[in-house]
A and B are shown apart, each in its own frame.
Chain A
Amino acid sequence: MSVSITVGAYGVAFGAAAVANGFTVIQACLLSLLTFSGASQFAVIGVIGAGGSAISAIATASLLGVRNALYGVIMAPRLHVKGLKRVVAAQVTIDESTGVALGQEPRGIDAMRKGFWYTGIGVFVFWNLFTLAGALGAQAMGDVRAFGLDSAVPAAFLGLVWPRLTGNFERALAVGCAIFAIAMTPVLPAGLPIIATAFIAIAVGLKR
């Protein structure tokens, strides 16, 4: 239940933010149906909203989507599915479904599979319904700044990154990347300052 409410809130925030950044209601819904990965979706609208090119937006979103591939590596041997079922399993391989499945690991493989499918499909349904609601709501608003939507988007990003800032190293990286992106914004084409910070993360990760 609490997962559903949280997912619903993210979905509304995404739908509204997508429209606030110039996307149509249909595009917002297609992103939720087809991309179905919260951070990647927020990244696309964030980069586009900041004036970035389509390529910058796709690159930033895809870098964030790499973790879903790593989740797939963990889940594939445990789900053991083929054909169309594997396509569906891949589409619902996200933070929540993988997290719940791994949480069920002590209770056996059947509990894991159940956790994965119920969470993945449940989140998919909620996420898409609430995206539509948020997008329609924002469309009805007119000036989104009067409703604070221009602040809801960075707040949503902050809410996504906050739980990952588990130590001083992570916090220093976050602050460093934020300052770098701000400093480069007037200099580099829109979108590039954000992508560039991924390379800071790679360089730091290799040296660590």
Chain B
Amino acid sequence: MTSQTMTTLWIATLGTSLVAFLLKYSGHSVPERWLSHPRIQSINALIPIALLSSLVAVQSFSEKSQLMIDQRLIGLSAAIIALIFKAPFPIVVLSAALSSAAVYNWL
């Protein structure tokens, strides 16, 4: 979709992998009291909510820093409906993909 250079992709791939492992390993190695503070625990529960929600929004309604509404709105709506009906993850993703593809191909 976007024209990122190969170098950017490699740095992102390997950099993320390195930090991800260091985070995991540090958890197994630092004294428990460093990270068991209740405030750290509660912030840690909120960060994924913030990041994942903003990723949903940006991935649904933008393209290269421009806001845009297209077939992804239909896909996202289908996913929300599936989640409201407590569908399992594969159904959520499939209903988004199928409805979005239908709009893209036939409208």
| Partner-B contacts on A (CB < 8 A) | 5-6, 9-10, 13, 20-24, 27, 30-31, 34-37, 39-44, 46-51, 53-54, 57-58, 60-73, 75-77, 79, 86-87, 89-91, 93, 144-162, 164-165, 170, 173-175, 177-182, 185-186, 189-190, 193-195, 197-198, 200-202, 204-206, 208
Contacts and interface: CB of A to CB of B under 8 A. Distances in A.
Contacts, number: 336
What is the predominant secondary structure among interface residues of chain B facing chain A?
Answer: helix
A206 B21 CA distance: 27
Nearest to A187: B65
Given A57-B15, A73-B28, 20 more contacts: A9-B90, A30-B13, A43-B55, A48-B8, A50-B2, A51-B65, A61-B20, A62-B20, A65-B19, A65-B23, A70-B40, A73-B36, A76-B32, A90-B21, A146-B105, A150-B1, A173-B53, A179-B57, A181-B55, A201-B46
B28 A72 contact: yes
Contact of B56 (A64, A178, A201): A178
A204 B45 CA distance: 11
Contacts of B95: 155
Contact of A54 (B12, B43, B90): B12
Q: Which of A43, A51, A154 has the largest number of chain B CB atoms within 10 A?
A: A154
B93 A40 contact: no
A185 B46 CA distance: 21
Q: Which 10 A-B pairs give the minimum distances between C-beta atoms? A: A72-B27, A151-B75, A148-B97, A155-B96, A181-B54, A151-B100, A34-B17, A148-B101, A69-B27, A205-B43
Contact of B17 (A35, A53, A79): A35
B8 A54 contact: yes
Interface of B: 1-4, 8-21, 23-30, 32, 34-36, 39-62, 64-67, 71-72, 74-76, 78-80, 83, 88-90, 92-93, 95-102, 104-105
A154 B56 contact: yes
Contact of A73 (B35, B49, B65, B101): B35
Q: Which of B60, B76, B80, B97 has the largest number of chain A CB atoms within 10 A?
A: B97
A57 B20 contact: no
Contacts of B99: 148, 151
Given A6-B89, A157-B59, A69 B24 contact: yes
Contact of B21 (A34, A70, A158, A178): A34
